Structure 1
Amino acid sequence: MSVSSYLVAALPPGLNIEILAFALGISVLAGTVKGMVGFAMPMILVSGLSMFLSPEIALAGLILPTVVTNGMQALRQGTAAAWQSIKRFRIFLLVGLVFLLASAQLVRVLPQGIMLLVIGVLVTIFALMQLMGRSIPMTRTNSQTEAVVAAVAGFIGGLSGIWGPPTVAYLTALGTEKHEQMRVQGVIYGLGAMALLLAHIGSGVMRAETAPFSLMLVPPAIVGMWIGGLLQDRINQATFRRATLVVLLLAGANLLRRGLMY
């Protein structure tokens, strides 16, 4: 049996080698963007894979690449650096986690479409203001402000599964140095990705039929992360900030699209 035959045999029903090739290309793109600015992998994978796969298969596909690449991102400068970032942003991490877990219980009560629109509007306005040079000053010495922002990000994340854009908006407003921003995002998203994996093992989305497809998307995602990491190393802080805001603007627009279509 040829390699392609083995691959097709491992795919969920309805997938073929041409669709797999396209999915691998999307995974490389998602990894490249994440490697450069630290986020947007789930957005790119879900948007791309959903064009030719069911929402369930698309969701299953993004889980393992997200877990692996977030671990790489958090540990790129080593465990000591990652631990320092965890300690520095411990209030944000702890408060955000508490509100994420609490608000997850409200998913069946509050309309998700409205939440997506609210997040999309806020993120889009923030990105546009920043790109236009309208700064939003924020200081890390105010732990109350950090806790409030973390609560909002966690609350939104628990309801919609989308905690990336609010977190990036906060870190960008702080003017966080690019390597530390990447590490903090990797830690936050890594914890969320592990929770997502466990939740969908329980839900049945991640199962014997879908896990091989998700596993196949890991190597191209890693290649993309490597490419994105090279690009990030070559750009200065100002360019990194602008690239982050552009991707954040696209993320906001995508949230608005999803909210309107919900």
Structure 2
Amino acid sequence: MMDISLLLLVAVAATFFAAGIVKGVTGMGLPTVAMGVLGALVSPLAAASLLIVPSFVTNVWQLAAGPSFGPLARRLWPMMLAIGAGTLAGTSLLAHGDTALTTGALGAALVFYAAFTLLARQIRVPARLEAWLSPAVGAITGIVTGATGVFVIPAVPYLQALGLDRDDLVQALGLSFTVSTVALAIGLASRGAFHADSLVLSALAVAPALAGMWAGQIIRQKISPQTFRRWFLFCLIVLGAEMLLRPLVS
């Protein structure tokens, strides 16, 4: 259970508005920002519970807006199935694990994702490897999602490496994030870790998240998305490093 105060309500609204801006500019990042910021204020379990509804709504919107749902679903179903299974398995750590451990794991996931995205060269996955790489990447992504609430590792770099065109890539990301969100909700609920007060507060976060997405789409027309993304990743590294080191200095 979570103590809902005015300060927490303001923090949640501000966090999801900022996360919506990031998603509006870059096409992703809402769960990552939400887990990073809220994970510094409440436990990773509480943060993961709060992101369920806004993540689901914004990612279904992103998924439905694309042109190729059927072909992508047929191509990526082994990865999506593995994401679901891995997430269900991984939620045991998030739901029942030591808070210091899950906070450190979340920080490590944020630092790794941001540093990898900043420094790694774009790779391409040969078509002949996709049949066995997709379920492997999906399983790893699911375990990381279940343990930390972060959906992006290694699913985002992998999907970017498949050579999809821009619209298909955005829709594929929406599909991956939607499956991750649903599996995370089911995993937490099945372990008694998804409470009614979290669901109410999560539903209230939809409005600022959508407002942030709208603002982000406006911002995208006025600044370079690459510059915005670079500063966003630098901020994730700082935030993740603080969370990773927190158990060592507390």
Contact 1:32 1:225 in 2 (8 A): yes
Using the TM superposition, give the Cα deviation of residue 211 of structure 1 relative to its aligned residue in structure 2, in angstroms: 3.0
- Structure 2 unmatched runs, 5+: none
SS, match of residue 165 in structure 1: coil
* Residue in structure 2 matched with residue 197 of structure 1 by the alignment: 185
Equivalent of residue 260 in structure 1, options 230, 241, 245: 245
1:213 partner letter:
L
- Name the TM-score, length of structure 1 as normaliser: 0.70
1:81 and 2:68 equivalent? yes
Q: Is the 8 A contact 2:88 2:184 kept in 1?
A: no
Aligned to 1:67: 56
SS at match of 1:258: helix
Distance in 1, matches of 2:197 and 2:91, equals 27
RMSD: 3.7
Q: Distance in 2 between matches of 1:47 and 1:124?
A: 12
AA at the equivalent of 1:168 = V
Does 2:94 align with 1:128?
A: no
Tell me which amino acid in the other structure corresponds to 2:63.
A
- Counterpart-to-counterpart distance in 2, 1:241 and 1:94: 32
User: Which residue of structure 2 aligns with residue 173 of structure 1?
Assistant: 161
Q: Distance in 2 between matches of 1:191 and 1:68?
A: 12
Q: Which moved more, 1:99-108 or 1:150-159?
A: 99-108
Q: Which runs of 5+ in 1 are unaligned?
A: 1-11
Distance 1:52 1:117 in 2: 13
| Displacement of 1:33 | 0.9
Q: How many residues align?
A: 242
2: CA distance, partners of 1:158 / 1:56: 10
**In 1, distance between residues paired with 2:3 and 2:114?**
38
Inter-CA distance 158–244: structure 2 relative to 1 (3 Å threshold) = same
Q: CA deviation at 1:104?
A: 4.9
Rounded to whole Å, the distance in 2 between the matches of 1:51 and 1:121 is 14
Q: Structure 1 252/179 Cα, relative in aligned 2: closer, same or farther at 3 Å? A: farther
Matched residue, 1:23: 12
Q: 1:7 aligns to what?
A: none
TM-score where L is the length of structure 2: 0.73
Q: Kindly provide the amino acid, as one letter, of the partner of residue 162 in structure 1.
A: V
Give the drift of 1:140.
3.8
Q: What's the offset of the Cα at 1:222?
A: 1.3
**Any idea what the Cα deviations from partners look like across 1:202-241, whole Å, max 9, x if unmatched?**
5555434333322221111112223334555x49xxx656
Match for 2:84: what amino acid? L
In structure 2, the CA distance between the partners of 1:122 and 1:85, relative to structure 1 (3 Å rule), is same
Are 1:39 and 2:28 counterparts? yes
- CA deviation profile, 1:18-74 (whole Å, cap 9, x unmatched): 653443232211112123323322232234345555666544332211121111111
Q: Is the 8 A contact 1:61 1:211 kept in 2?
A: yes
Which of 128, 137, 151 lines up with 1:149 in the alignment? 137
Bigger radius of gyration, 1 or 2?
A: 1
Q: What secondary structure sits across from 2:160 in the alignment?
A: helix
Q: Give the equivalent residue in structure 2 for 1:217.
A: 205
Cα separation, partners in 2 of 1:207 and 1:181, compared to 1, 3 Å: same
1:76-120 CA-to-partner distances (Å, cap 9, x unmatched) read: 23xx62233222323322333344445556777996577557645
Task: Mark the CA change 1:184 to 1:205 in structure 2 (over 3 Å): closer, same or farther.
Answer: same
